[in-house]
């Protein structure tokens, strides 16, 4: 939370007072939003399109650490990670609904700061915040976001549409968010042990990848301009390896990834080396990059060839061939999904 000498207890406003305070800052942008906050439910006109709905929860101590995550950044990220799922369906996000669980250690000013980030994300992506809920929490901050999007039925892309021999393409670069997290965790540990102020110099790119990711709306727009329709698509929240296997499994196929094709930013690469980590492992399993991973036909390769925003990292293969990683020497290894799993213990 930013420096602020005033502190207003949530109890001073009450639930309805807090809702009114937050709702007063919302300006609707979408013509499909018939009614936003202020009634028992929002009213949305799908305008003849298929609606796409997704939801995510973020829990303090599980998904984020307020020791180093600014509330405004957290609010922004909470919205963006849901919009990313909508774009991964080749749809356009239109509305979001936000539910908050708040402990009494959060003053009204902290909620304002969190909401400032949420509303900034909504403005940047042209999305309306149309409703939600607030309640008391005994386990820290809980954020639940539901995103609603729309698309023509023929434009929606599922994970299950890939075909044998199709190319696997990824946007942007990988592993940056994971390395940003490693820097933040290291500096928190140093501060806890010694009281030394964090040294974050030279890590701007990877810190932004972790703290303020962006959904790849630009890639969806680019593919439409190039007249390329993905046959299957997913966003990279749990790591490239995990998401590639999701597409393969859903499509009844295998997949082959190539180590030497993985797009890794030089800052990410060097930071991984500084931490004695393998950059390839970080790119494959780090997660939270929120890039788009998709398959295209061989015939569409010429349309994306040489585009700096897109990299072919592998191709789909017969299911009997399994999930494979080809190393830089040409050797093949089993591709393992080692990214985030919500129900695996992270503390050993």
* Residue 163 and residue 147 share a domain: no
Domain edge (last residue) among 151, 170, 201: 151
pLDDT for 18: 66
Q: What is the Cα–Cα distance from 105 to 107, expressed in whole angstroms?
A: 6
Helix H segments across the chain? Answer: 10-23, 71-87, 108-125, 176-194, 204-211, 217-225, 240-251, 266-274, 279-285, 301-304
* 8 A C-beta contact, residue 290 and residue 210: no
Hunting for tokens 């003849």 — which residue is that? Answer: 48
Co-location of 165 and 143 in the same domain: no
Q: How far apart are CA 264 and CA 176, in angstroms?
A: 8
Query: From the CA atom positions of the chain, what is the Rg in Å?
Result: 21
Q: Cα–Cα distances in Å, from 159 out to 162, 251, 322, 324?
A: 7, 7, 17, 19
Residue 342 counted as domain residue: no
Is there a domain that residue 278 lies in?
A: yes
* Chain CA centroid to CA 166, Å: 25
Q: Residue 102 in 3-state DSSP?
A: strand
Does residue 343 lie within any of the structural domains? no
Domain ends where: 118, 151, 184?
151
C-alpha distances out from residue 75 to 1, 71, 188, 264, 301, Å: 12, 6, 21, 27, 37
Domain co-membership, 177 together with 31: no
Residue 92 shares a structural domain with residue 206: no
- The reply to whether 4 falls in a domain is no
Same domain, 181 and 128: no
**Structural domain range at position 124:** 10-151
Please give the tally of structural domains in the chain.
2
C-alpha dihedral (97, 247, 216, 273), degrees to nearest 10: 110
- pLDDT mean values, one per 10 residues, the chain (348 residues): 64 67 74 77 86 94 93 98 97 96 90 96 97 89 96 96 98 98 95 89 96 98 97 96 97 98 98 97 95 98 97 98 95 83 45
Query: 291 lies in a domain?
Result: yes
Contact between residue 261 and residue 336 where contact means Cβ atoms under 8 Å apart? no
Residue 140 sits in the same domain as residue 167: no
One domain for residues 235 and 104: no
Say if residue 123 is in the same domain as residue 195: no
CATH of the domain at 273: 3.90.650.10
Do 168 and 137 share a structural domain? no
Long-range contacts for 59-66 (Cβ within 8 Å, ≥24 apart)? 59/139, 59/140, 59/141, 59/142, 59/143, 60/139, 60/140, 60/141, 60/142, 61/139, 61/140, 65/184, 65/188, 66/141
Query: What is the pLDDT, as a whole number, of residue 260?
Result: 97
Domain check: are 70 and 100 in the same one?
A: yes
Angle at 25 between CA 22 and CA 27, to 5 degrees: 125
Residue 140, CA distances (Å) to 212, 254, 285, 343 in order: 21, 41, 28, 19
Regarding pTM above 0.75, the answer is yes
Q: How far from each other are the two terminal CA atoms of the chain, in whole angstroms?
A: 31
Query: Does 96 share its domain with 163?
Result: no
CB burial string 196-226: b at 16+ within 10 A, e below:
eeeeeeebebbbebbbbbbbbbebbebbeee
Q: Which long-range contacts (CB under 8 A, 24 or more apart) does 242-247 make?
A: 242/285, 242/287, 242/337, 242/338, 242/339, 242/340, 243/293, 244/168, 244/293, 244/314, 244/323, 244/335, 245/323, 245/335, 245/337, 246/159, 247/159, 247/162, 247/168, 247/293, 247/295, 247/316
Whether 345 is in a domain gets the answer no
Which one, of 143, 151, 310, 148, lies nearest residue 223 by Cα? Answer: 310
CATH of residue 18's domain is 3.30.1330.10
64: in domain = yes
User: What pLDDT was estimated at residue 139?
Assistant: 81
Please tell me whether residues 120 and 165 are part of one structural domain. Answer: no
- CA–CA dist 214, 241 (Å, integer): 21
Q: Establish if 270 belongs to a structural domain.
A: yes
């Amino acid at each position: 939370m930013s420096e602020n000498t005033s502190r207003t207890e949530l109890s001073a406003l009450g639930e309805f007072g807090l809702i009114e305070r937050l709702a007063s800052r919302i300006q609707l942008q979408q013509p499909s939003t018939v009614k936003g906050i202020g009634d028992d439910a929002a009213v949305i006109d799908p305008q003849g399109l298929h609606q796409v709905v997704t939801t995510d929860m973020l829990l303090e101590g599980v998904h984020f650490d307020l020791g180093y995550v600014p509330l405004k950044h957290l609010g922004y990220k909470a919205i963006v990670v849901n919009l990313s799922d909508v774009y991964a369906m080749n749809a356009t996000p239109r509305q979001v609904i936000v539910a908050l669980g708040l402990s009494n250690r959060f003053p009204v000013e902290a909620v304002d700061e969190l909401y400032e980030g949420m509303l900034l994300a909504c403005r940047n992506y042209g999305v309306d915040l149309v409703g939600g809920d607030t309640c008391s929490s005994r386990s820290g901050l809980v954020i639940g976001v539901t995103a609603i999007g729309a698309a023509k039925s023929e434009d929606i892309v599922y994970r299950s549409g890939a075909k044998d021999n199709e190319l696997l393409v990824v946007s942007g670069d990988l592993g940056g968010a994971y390395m940003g997290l490693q820097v933040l965790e290291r500096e928190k540990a140093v501060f806890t042990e010694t009281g030394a102020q964090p040294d974050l110099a030279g890590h701007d790119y990877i810190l932004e990848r972790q703290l303020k990711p962006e959904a790849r709306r630009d890639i969806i727009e680019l593919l439409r301009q190039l007249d390329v329709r993905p046959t299957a698509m997913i966003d990279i929240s749990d790591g490239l390896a995990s998401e590639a296997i999701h597409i393969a499994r859903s499509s009844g196929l295998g997949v082959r990834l190539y180590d030497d094709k993985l797009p890794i930013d030089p800052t990410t690469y060097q930071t991984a080396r500084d931490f004695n980590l393998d950059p390839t492992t970080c790119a494959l399993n780090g997660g939270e990059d929120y890039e788009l991973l998709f398959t295209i036909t061989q015939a569409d390769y010429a349309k994306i060839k040489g585009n700096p925003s897109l990299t072919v990292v592998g191709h789909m293969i017969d299911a009997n061939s399994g999930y494979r990683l080809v190393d830089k020497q040409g050797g093949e290894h089993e591709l393992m999904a080692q990214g985030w799993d919500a129900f695996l213990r992270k503390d050993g």
